[in-house]
Chain A
Amino acid sequence: RKEVEQDPGPFNVPEGATVAFNCTYSNSASQSFFWYRQDCRKEPKLLMSVYSSGNEDGRFTAQLNRASQYISLLIRDSKLSDSATYLCVVNKESGTGNQFYFGTGTSLTVIP
């Protein structure tokens, strides 16, 4: 079983729509959670960290559910510029340092 699983999509939504992605992780000892964004043929870039209490950054809201071992990303009022692949990242610290696990990404296309 993969450490992190995401629905690959693609999600095709009209401008202005609200869209949500989920990501599940297998290791209950995981400690830090992030969403990264990757544009086509570019490097991943941090979108936001995910905190236990949930957090919001403008049109983006991230939630963590430790009991069910999933994190979510909600995008409100979608813009054309939101079209990208969204990667879920889970981190677990161990004796040898941090272990980072990336999901394979969820593809989003926002349509005019």
Chain B
Amino acid sequence: DARVTQTPRHKVTEMGQEVTMRCQPILGHNTVFWYRQTMMQGLELLAYFRNRAPLDDSGMPKDRFSAEMPDATLATLKIQPSEPRDSAVYFCASGFGNQNIQYFGAGTRLSVL
């Protein structure tokens, strides 16, 4: 059963620390999305890659967030420095071509103290 794998599942860190979240998309998928979910805002798109190229990162705070795809099997989302307001669940999703269907990973639950 193919699935999107995210690590770590939980992360507790102190304000100012660097946080790196990883995502392994489903093999063969060529689109990758990063979302942040909070109770107040719901799911917000942070970044979107197609064939490893970033297409849209307008939802991402550029001063502290960065997203990359070093290769087709790995996507990373980094926060440096982290702040308490970054506490949320971060989801990665992958998809294929123009199907427009996204398959989500289990998420990384981040708490910044």
Q: CB distance B102 to A46 under 8 Å?
A: yes
B55 at the interface (CB under 8 A from A): yes
Q: Which residues of B contact A49 (CB under 8 A)?
A: 101
* Binary A-proximity of B21-50 (CB < 8 A = 1, otherwise 0): 000000000010101000001110100101
- Complex Cα distance, B61 from A8, in Å, reads 27
The docked-state distance in angstroms from the alpha carbon of A97 to that of B105 is 21
Q: How far is the CB of B65 from the nearest CB of chain A, in Å?
A: 18
Tell me which of A43, A87, A98 contacts B106 (CB under 8 A). A43
A98 CA to B50 CA in the complex, in Å?
Answer: 10
- With an 8 A cutoff between CB atoms, is B18 at the interface? no
Q: In this complex, what residue of B is CB-closest to A4?
A: B42
Interface size class for chain B? Answer: 20 to 34
Q: Mark A74-112, 1 if CB is under 8 A from B, else 0.
A: 000000000000010001000011111111110000000
B-side contacts of A101, CB under 8 Å:
45
A interface residues, tally (CB under 8 Å): 20
B105 CB → nearest A CB, Å: 6
Contact A43–B100 (Cβ < 8 Å): no
Q: Cβ of A43 and Cβ of B50 under 8 Å apart?
A: no
* A105 adjacent to B105 (CB under 8 Å): no
Min Cβ gap B37→A in Å is 9
- Contacting pair B55 A96 (CB below 8 A): yes
Bound-complex Cα distance A49 to B98 (A): 14
Query: In the complex where A43-B105, A44-B104 touch, is A102 in contact with B56 (Cβ < 8 A)?
Result: no
B48 near A98: Cβ-Cβ < 8 Å: yes
Interchain CB contact (< 8 A) of B107 among A43, A103, A105: A43
- A1 close to chain B: CB less than 8 A: no
20 contacts between A and B (CB under 8 A): A32-B100, A34-B100, A42-B106, A43-B104, A43-B105, A43-B107, A44-B43, A44-B91, A44-B104, A46-B101, A97-B48, A97-B50, A98-B100, A99-B45, A100-B45, A100-B100, A100-B102, A102-B42, A104-B41, A104-B42
